[in-house]
Amino acid sequence: MRKYSVLFAIAASLVVPAVWAQSKPAPECRSQQVEKSRVDMCLAHGGAFQHDTYMLRVDGTLIFALTDDYAEQVELTHTVPEGLTIEYPLSKQGEKVVKITGDCLPESKDGAEVARVCNFHWGKYQVVKDQRFEFQ
């Protein structure tokens, strides 16, 4: 009897994570080429009555991930150190301080949120321009 309990526990530990992982849809991403960098603005839907997550990736590296409540006004600041450093190409604008600023603002129709439109600047470059994510 104990042998079957152990086998059941092992089987369940293999099946449950696989089922849970399949239930999460892939993020919806929009790409833009800015200078020599690929910029992705992505939305990971949270599901019914859950928060969505907005993500900014540059050249495959995650810059930020914010839930919808905190994506409405974003400002991130980076001070570029002197000397030899590893910097994102978009941070090399000749300034000591580079900011990422922008937002993903809600659009409503008949009192319900139907979409969010995202716009972000990385210093002087607009890296996300009018990326609209609609809700079903």
pLDDT in tens, 98-108: 999 999 999 99
Is residue 54 a part of any domain in this protein? yes
Is residue 19 a part of any domain in this protein? no
Query: Which residues 6+ apart lie within 8 Å of 62 measured at CB?
Result: 55, 56
Pull the structure tokens for residue 46: 């949270």
Highest mean pLDDT among 8-12, 16-20, 66-70: 66-70
Instruction: Give the domain extent around 34.
Output: 26-134
Closest CA to 62 of 81, 76, 72, 80: 76
Task: Indicate whether 11 pLDDT > 70.
Answer: no
How many domains, in total, are found in the chain?
Answer: 1
**H/E stretch holding 132:** strand 125-134
- pLDDT confidence tier of residue 115, bands split at 50, 70 and 90: very high
Of 27-36, 45-54, 106-115, the least confident: 45-54
Residue 41 near residue 102, CB atoms below 8 Å: no
Is residue 20 a part of any domain in this protein? no
Phi, psi of 84 (to 5 degrees): -75, 120
Is residue 8 a part of any domain in this protein? no
Q: What is the DSSP letter of 94?
A: S
pLDDT of residue 16: 45
| pTM to 2 decimal places | 0.79
Is residue 4 a part of any domain in this protein? no
42-80: pLDDT as tens digits: 999 987 778 999 999 999 999 999 999 999 999 999 999
Is residue 53 a part of any domain in this protein? yes
E strands within the chain? 28-34, 37-44, 53-58, 61-67, 74-79, 97-109, 112-122, 125-134
Is residue 90 a part of any domain in this protein? yes
Is residue 65 a part of any domain in this protein? yes
